Amino acid sequence: MSWKTLDDMDLSGKRVLVRVDINVPVENGHVSDATRIERIVPTVKDILAKGGKPILLAHFGRPKGKVVLDMSLRVTLPALEAALGRKVRLIETLEGAENLTDEALASEVLLLENIRFHPGEETNDPDFATRLAQLGDVYCNDAFSAAHRAHASTTGIARHLPSCAGRLMQAELQALDAALGTPKRPVMAVVGGAKVSTKLDLLGNLVSKVDCLVIGGGMANTFLAAIGLNVGKSLCEHDMADTAREIMIKAGAAGCEILLPADVVVARDFAAGAPHEVVGAHACPQGAMILDAGPQAVARIITALDNAKTLIWNGPLGAFEIEPFDAATNAAARHAASLSREGKLISVAGGGDTVAALNKAGAADDFTYISTAGGAFLEWMEGKDLPGVAALKA
């Protein structure tokens, strides 16, 4: 482990600048989902327990370097205080943070107003990073979800202060290392979603890292078409056929087995409860569209899961939002969850649709780790260095 954690830091009497992600959904002036806020609680409480004063740095929305009142972090205060069980004081300006009053210093937790109100944040301006760093004695990054951004609050500050990972960042990095860094083999990946074109780097990296790759969703249609099968009216990137074949050749050379659906669920209409049938992957009717993997395909995936020791999951196997085209995703996810619960499988999942699909299947709670990091999770899986993680190693 090449980065420090809170366990490695002396925080007694220190001001700790903590980069967090509390970019939460808001409806009618209230936080509608406090998951991201709840996930920073262990870090903040550990800092307080070690005698430190947390000063939270966070973004909210995309104000693009200007003060936008609708994007003030003030809206998060009630949810933050409820999660932490203590008062949180909003510091509205950088100047206010540089000249804290005795009243402000008496607060246990301080929150600096939206860091992206400052143009120097997203440009990683050295002078702005220096000013931020002077607010604290120690820097703690607990926002893995922003670690793929080289911003002042994710990388710039780390050049000036003793730095460490917060508990959420630590958990994320340990989970990802267990999945792709030093995994227990065999390693299996499930990659679904609509388009091959958005996941080229991901597929290219995974075929050299995993032993078995399941391709599902609209992406599978592109691969089926690439091997000469008719996919009817299905969502399919026919112009990516050469690329799909190249990925299959690369997988073969690396000893990675690619699992494409042997049978599929087809329908003429993309609608809940639409008339549908199961056909062989080679027998999609001309006027139909493939909307899910079939039972034979699911059986093969379940067998592969039984043989695997590590699973990485990104994207659904079918049009999971609409019944009955959620069946393959639900069955595979629940089996992976069961194996994880029994201690037979290390399962790591991430990406927007992935979290929604696993929640819908009732499988999320039993996966070993579910990342809410979105873009950062994908870039890590693509084998890219994340600036916010690299900065902690300096």
Supply the residues annotated as catalytic: 36, 195, 352, 375
Q: Is 255 annotated as a binding residue?
A: no
39, 61, 165, 78: which is closest to 115 by C-alpha? 61
91-95: long-range pairs with CB below 8 Å, 24+: 91/55, 94/118, 94/131, 94/132
Q: Is 351 annotated as a binding residue?
A: yes
Q: Is 199 annotated as a binding residue?
A: yes
Q: Is 99 annotated as a binding residue?
A: no
Angle at 229 between CA 226 and CA 230, to 5 degrees: 115
Q: Is 59 annotated as a binding residue?
A: yes
Paired with 257 in beta bridges are: 212
Give the C-alpha separation, 130 to 175, whole Å.
32
Give the C-alpha separation, 53 to 104, whole Å.
11
Burial (CB count within 10 angstroms: exposed 0-12, middle 13-18, buried 19+), residue 254: middle
Q: Is 23 annotated as a binding residue?
A: yes
HSE (side-chain half, CA atoms, 13 Å) at 60: 24
24, 30, 18, 1: which is closest to 372 by C-alpha? 24
Q: Is 85 annotated as a binding residue?
A: no
Q: Is 377 annotated as a binding residue?
A: no
Angle at 307 between CA 333 and CA 253, to 5 degrees: 105
Q: Is 149 annotated as a binding residue?
A: yes
Encoded tokens for 67: 């003060």
Q: Is 15 annotated as a binding residue?
A: no
Q: Is 354 annotated as a binding residue?
A: yes
Q: Which residues are annotated as a binding site?
A: 21-23, 36, 59-62, 116, 149, 199, 321, 351-354
Q: Which residues are annotated as a binding site for ATP?
A: 199, 321, 351-354
Q: Which residues are annotated as a binding site for substrate?
A: 21-23, 36, 59-62, 116, 149
Q: Which residues are annotated as a binding site for (2R)-3-phosphoglycerate?
A: 36, 116, 149
